[in-house]
């Protein structure tokens, strides 16, 4: 099982695009996305210094644009990707690159959204002096309790011993004076308290724009930052990406889902290294590949071929399938015992030791075949029900 991941803000470094831009095709594609985003991505990826690319309005389009163009270098024929990729995930703004790669939206739509996302988040960050601090090590319960005591939000939960605190500069200063026991603090070079209530104005802005974005159901499993669930409805993928601006990134739960899927290989798109490092520490035995430079492309393709097996979702028309959002036992709802399901009908729930999640049939349609029995164990992204659409579908 191969999972492709896209990094979030902070992964960029000065000059990281230089070797990529030696390829005329890469350069021309990046230029096109620069026009769409209204940002000179080639300049910021080659000549700009660390402070310039720290700017949220620059960093976010730079990361998404790079990931999208690099994906076409890795898979020149996109169909090949869906024969190999079992799931995709992105950390924070990387979710836009992952969603576009899964064909939820076009590259151009992703670049417009990330442009406006960066602008709105920068404006929200300017309203109040805020920031983020990595809390490394310490007891998890003690770390979370300390953050709560100081009024801070665990904005990124990247796994055991890797929590990022976010809040006002005064709150972060108080944390520095009174840290969790046996924890090490590292101030992050970001412009504000991302993934907290401080970003609420940016959510409102993106939600307004998102109403005009046409989406499709993903061609492969998309693992959501919000709770690690596999999301198979394009509208829901977009809604979650928008809401995530002011909600914590639960990368720890994304890792759990990768494990539930049986992942054997994780490849990180450039600028790579951050997420593969987290995977190495938390998913023992899973092979990783950090794609940093174009001279690695042949090895990266071999890595994908070795681990790739494709997605169950990609092998069938996506609008016919209702899939499981998570691992657990599936319990069928009485409302689903009909021949025709109205759009939005809850067909059942997936229950685990952690929670119970309703499973809606987003588009509705005529029931063709149930693929699981009541009480069956299911995996994230596993098809549950095949439907024949009776109306328009996205």
Parent domain of 294:
2-124+197-307
Instruction: Give the residue carrying structure tokens 């739509």.
Output: 109
Q: What pLDDT, on the 0 to 100 scale, is given for residue 332?
A: 96
User: Is 393 inside a domain boundary?
Assistant: no
* Pair 55, 85 in one domain: yes
Which pLDDT does position 314 carry in this prediction? 55
- Of 160, 187, 214, the residue that ends a domain is 187
* Predicted confidence pLDDT, tens digits, the chain (394 residues): 999 999 999 899 999 999 999 999 999 999 999 999 999 999 999 999 999 999 999 999 999 999 999 999 999 887 778 889 999 999 999 999 999 999 999 999 999 999 999 999 999 999 999 999 999 999 999 999 999 999 999 999 998 889 999 999 999 999 999 999 999 999 987 889 999 999 999 999 999 999 999 999 998 999 999 999 999 999 999 999 999 999 999 999 999 999 999 999 999 999 999 999 999 999 999 999 999 999 999 999 999 999 998 666 655 555 678 999 999 999 999 999 999 999 999 999 999 998 999 999 988 899 999 999 999 999 999 999 999 877 544 4
What is the maximum alpha-carbon separation in the chain? 63
Same domain, yes or no, for 99 and 234? yes
Are the beta carbons of 333 and 385 closer than 8 angstroms? no
Task: Mark whether 324 is an active-site residue.
Answer: no
We report the CATH number of the domain holding residue 39 as 3.40.366.10
Q: Is residue 312 part of a domain?
A: no
The answer to whether residues 238 and 101 belong to one domain is yes
In a domain, 192, yes or no: no
Same-domain check for residues 271 and 328: no
Shared domain for 220 and 366, answered yes or no, is no
Query: Which of 307, 341, 372 is the last residue before a domain boundary?
Result: 307
- Choosing from 91, 195, 232, 363, which is the catalytic residue? 195
Is residue 105 located within the same domain as residue 246? yes
Q: Are residues 6 and 101 in the same domain?
A: yes
Domain count, the chain: 3
| Chosen domain end from 169, 187, 205 | 187
The 8-class DSSP code of residue 6 comes to E
Of these residues, 92, 247, 311, 326, which one is catalytic? 92
Q: What is the pLDDT of residue 392?
A: 45
Residue 336 included in any domain = yes
Give the strands of the sheet with 162-168, arranged side by side. 153-157, 162-168, 130-137, 183-187
167 token code pair: 């809040």
Per DSSP, the three-state class of 389 is coil
Residue (of 34, 38, 19, 118) closest to 68 by Cα position: 34
Q: How far apart are CA 25 and CA 154, in angstroms?
A: 41
Question: For residue 46, what are its two tokens?
Answer: 């080659």
Q: Is pTM beyond 0.75 here?
A: yes
Statement to judge: residues 154 and 222 lie in one domain: no
117/136 same-domain check? no
**Residue 136 shares a structural domain with residue 228:** no
- The whole-angstrom distance between residue 54's C-alpha and the CA centroid of its chain comes to 20
CATH code for the domain in which residue 165 is found: 3.30.70.250
Helix, strand, coil: what percent of the chain each, to 5? 40, 20, 35
Can you give the CATH number for the domain in which 378 is found? Answer: 2.40.50.100
- Does 187 participate in catalysis according to the annotation? no
């Amino acid at each position: 099982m191969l999972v492709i991941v896209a990094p979030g803000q902070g992964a960029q470094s000065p000059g990281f695009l230089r070797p990529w831009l030696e390829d005329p095709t890469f350069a021309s594609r990046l230029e096109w996305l620069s026009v769409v985003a209204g940002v000179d991505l080639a300049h910021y990826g080659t000549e700009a210094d660390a402070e310039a690319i720290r700017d949220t309005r620059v960093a976010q389009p730079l990361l998404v644009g790079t990931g999208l163009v690099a994906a076409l270098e890795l898979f020149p024929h996109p169909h090949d990707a869906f024969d190999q990729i079992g799931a995709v995930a992105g950390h924070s703004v990387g979710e836009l690159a992952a969603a576009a790669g899964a064909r939820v939206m076009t590259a151009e739509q992703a670049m417009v959204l990330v442009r406006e996302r960066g602008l709105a988040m920068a404006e929200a960050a300017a309203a109040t002096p805020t920031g983020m601090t990595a809390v490394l090590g310490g007891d998890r319960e003690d770390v979370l309790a300390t953050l709560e005591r100081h009024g801070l939000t665990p904005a990124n939960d990247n796994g055991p011993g890797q929590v990022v605190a976010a809040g006002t500069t005064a709150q972060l200063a108080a944390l520095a004076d009174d840290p969790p026991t046996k924890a090490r603090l590292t101030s992050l070079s970001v412009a504000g308290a991302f993934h907290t209530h401080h970003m609420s104005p940016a959510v409102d802005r993106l939600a307004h724009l998102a109403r005009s974005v046409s989406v499709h159901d993903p061609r492969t499993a998309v693992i959501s930052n919000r709770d690690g669930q596999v999301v198979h409805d394009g509208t829901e993928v977009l809604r979650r990406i928008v809401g995530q601006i002011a909600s914590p990134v639960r990368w720890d739960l994304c890792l759990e889902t990768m494990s539930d899927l049986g992942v054997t290989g994780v490849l990180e798109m450039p600028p790579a290294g951050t997420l593969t490092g987290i995977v190495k520490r938390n998913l023992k035995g899973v092979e990783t590949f950090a794609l940093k430079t174009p001279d690695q492309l042949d090895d990266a393709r071999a890595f994908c071929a070795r681990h790739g097996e494709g997605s169950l979702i990609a092998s069938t028309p996506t609008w016919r399938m209702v899939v499981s959002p998570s691992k657990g036992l599936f319990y069928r709802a009485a409302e689903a015992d009909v021949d025709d399901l109205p759009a939005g009908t809850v067909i059942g729930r997936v229950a685990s030791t952690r929670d119970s999640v309703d499973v809606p049939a987003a588009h509705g349609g005529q029931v063709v075949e149930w693929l699981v029995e009541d009480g069956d164990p299911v995996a994230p992204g596993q098809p549950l029900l095949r439907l024949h659409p009776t109306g328009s579908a996205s």
